[in-house]
């Protein structure tokens, strides 16, 4: 069935280091892959997304890469700052589905 | 800016009570979703609605019902609350014409059932 796996579940990095979160998906026809950031006490907010016709997308310190052959996509945060501390969710569409399917989340802690 | 609001940030209810969670969006979107968020399980879809009075079950509809009498408002109903329904509930709405594209989320309602 449809599945999105996300790793790691927790990640601690020193301020200024990079953080990488990885997700794999099960449907080779999936074509939309958003990433959400959820800060404490708030709902998830879209931070970046990628569609299946591109392999990489960057927005300042955040980038997402997509490997369609291997069916995985990754979030890369460079020069991490304490305000990057949050829970991050990946998601993917699946053929015939009416909704996004979400990963289980990664709690990122940036240590000052 | 799309705005999705939820009626309560925190709720405490007793087992057996009927609970209403309200969600309102101000962008005339046709699709609205209710998710439940639990640690280690991510976001799981309870119900969604694609138009007024139209609804479809998601992955975990048991114990829940929904109501959509007006386009801007989507209500989640716990007919008889149970302790295993203690959770964070998130409402979301994507842009018009899509169900599987970007979701705009509300701030969430943290429900505790005692």
Per residue in A33-49, pLDDT (tens digit) is 999 999 998 999 999 99
Name the residue among A100, A60, A77 with its Cα closest to residue A22. A77
Q: Which residue of A has its CA nearest to B39?
A: A104
Please tell me the least confidently modeled range out of A83-87, B51-55, B98-102, B106-110: B98-102
pLDDT of residue B66: 97
Q: Given a cut of 80, is residue B96 above it in pLDDT?
A: no
Q: What is the pLDDT of residues A61-80, one digit of tens each?
A: 999 999 999 999 999 999 99
Average pLDDT estimate for B57-76: 95
DSSP letters spanning B76-92:
EEESS--GGG-EEEEEE
How far is residue B38 from each of residues A2, A25, B42, B86, measured CA to CA in Å? Answer: 19, 20, 6, 9
Tell me whether residues A104 and B42 touch, CB distance under 8 A. yes
Q: Roughly how many angstroms between the first and final C-alpha of chain B, as a whole number?
A: 37
Distances (CA, A) of B112 to A39, B9, B10, B77: 20, 11, 8, 14
Q: Which residue of B has its CA nearest to A100?
A: B100
Helix/strand/coil percent split, chain B, to 5: 5, 55, 45
Measure CB to CB from residue A98 to each of B35, B56, B102 and give the nearest one.
B56
How much is the pLDDT for B77?
97
Sign of CA dihedral A46, A80, A64, A1: negative
Is the per-residue pLDDT at A98 higher than 80? no
| Chain B hits for A23, Cβ within 8 Å | none
To the nearest whole angstrom, how far is the Cα of B20 from the nearest Cα of chain A?
19
Mutate to test the interface with B, among A90, A100, A101, A103 (most CBs of B within 10 A): A100
């Amino acid at each position: 069935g449809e599945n999105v796996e996300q790793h790691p579940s927790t990640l601690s990095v020193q301020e200024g280091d990079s953080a990488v979160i990885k997700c794999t998906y099960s449907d080779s026809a999936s074509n939309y892959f958003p990433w959400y950031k959820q800060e404490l006490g708030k709902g998830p907010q879209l931070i970046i997304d990628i569609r299946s016709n591109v392999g990489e997308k960057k927005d300042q310190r955040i980038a997402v890469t997509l490997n369609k052959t291997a069916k995985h996509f990754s979030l890369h945060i460079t020069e991490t700052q304490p305000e990057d501390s949050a829970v991050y969710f990946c998601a993917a569409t699946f053929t015939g589905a009416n909704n996004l399917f979400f990963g289980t989340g990664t709690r990122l802690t940036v240590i000052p | 800016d799309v705005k999705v609001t939820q009626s309560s940030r925190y709720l405490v209810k007793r087992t057996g009570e009927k609970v209403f969670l309200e969600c309102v969006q101000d962008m005339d979107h046709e699709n609205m979703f209710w998710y439940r968020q639990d640690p280690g399980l991510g976001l799981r879809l309870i119900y969604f609605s694609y138009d007024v009075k139209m609804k479809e079950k998601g992955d975990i509809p048991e114990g829940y019902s929904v109501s959509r009498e007006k386009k801007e408002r989507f209500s989640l109903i716990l007919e008889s609350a149970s302790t295993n329904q203690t959770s964070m509930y998130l409402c979301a709405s994507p842009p018009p014409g899509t169900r599987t594209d970007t979701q705009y989320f509300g701030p969430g309602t943290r429900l505790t059932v005692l």
